[in-house]
Amino acid sequence: MSTATVPPPTSERREAAASAAAQAHRLRLLNVAFEARAFIALAVLIIVFSLLSDTFLTVTNVITMTKHVAINGILALGMLLVILKGGIDLSVGSIVGLSGVVAGELLGGVTLFGVVAYPPVWVVILVAIAVGTLVGAINGVLVTRFNVAPFIATLGMLYVARGAALLISDGETYPNLGGDPELGNTGFDWLGTGKLLGIPVSIYLLALLAIVITVLIRKAPFGRWLYATGGNERAAELSGVPVRRVKTRVYMISGACAALSGLIIASELTSAAPQAGETFELNAIAAVVIGGAALSGGRGNVRGTLVGAFVIGFLADGLVNLGISTFWQILIKGAVIVLAVVLDQGQQRFQKRGAAAAAAAETAPAPAAKAPAS
């Protein structure tokens, strides 16, 4: 009885298979590094600023910096939803200013039929958030019903919201928003300066919002629709996903988050200026992109966005702590935003190359084995 041996693959094919497998492994490692870039950047910032300043990592300073992060973090969480569906929202900075102005106008009293009414603080907060949500809804309608590009639609609403804030306030700042006990409209300052167990209220609001949005995008059908829309809008629509409704809702949520940030700022300062929130949209976009979200949509998560917000916040506060000039701060922040976008594009290229290398490794022939022959 004789046996026949299947001819082994040539050495060239074995070498090609080994090379493809090694390249796929290297690209996977690079992709992991890209995914962890926000954590790496945050760790580097903490180490560098801790070495340069003795007060950077003190408990008081960390709480103060986290309080600052909360404002941009809330903005970034709303921006994350918009970017996940493949859009952009440039109007959030103006909504920050508009919501503060609306709160200032209401706390100063509203004249109805010749009578000046002073609404309670909870009504002021709800109305201001509703205004931000309305601006977001207009963004959504422009994008979904009139097919206006998100960049153009939200850029236009940036000017509309800022103009409305200037018109309502006549270009002036609303001072002394602490209210009057006799009028029953006190307590607004608690939103920005209040503390629970020594932790500012704004940090609790950021944590609560992060939990809600995490559940929304991971457990609710809306989250699956959102990722599907961002990944491939046409395929999602053919699969029965209500694409228009998803788009409109993410802009509404983004507007509501921006309004909440504006209220926190006005509450902390006990004053509201129509110029508040200028360029805040860039910080929010930078936090989302640094956190690993793709500007093309379909990729991103809450954890990465929060870390990105901490990177932006700790960078800004660290530079202030070192006494760096404001001009240099602007330059460095702009460079970070550009670098974040470059890294995002690099990650997408490596992911494509990694997928191709993995496919090549899988299709490479396996080493031959002896086969019995009768």
pLDDT tens sequence across 277-304:
999 999 999 999 999 888 888 989 999 9
Q: Give, in order, the Cα–Cα distances in Å from 194 to each of 61, 68, 205.
A: 17, 14, 12
> What are phi and psi for residue 288, nearest 5 degrees?
-65, -45
Question: How high is the pLDDT of residue 206?
Answer: 97
pLDDT of the residue at 72: 96
Select the highest-mean-pLDDT range: 20-34, 75-89, 178-192.
75-89
pLDDT digits (tens, 9 = 90+) for 99-118: 999 999 999 888 777 788 88
pTM: 0.87
Distance, CA of 219 to chain centre: 19
* CA 117 vs CA 106, 114, 307: distances in Å: 9, 10, 43
Mean pLDDT of 258-262: 97
Residue type at 249 in one-letter notation: R
Lowest mean pLDDT among 33-42, 99-108, 161-170: 33-42
The CA angle 302-43-333, to the nearest 5 degrees, is: 75
Distance separating alpha carbons of residues 12 and 2, to the nearest angstrom: 29
Q: Within a 10 A sphere around the Cβ of 235, how many other Cβ atoms?
A: 11
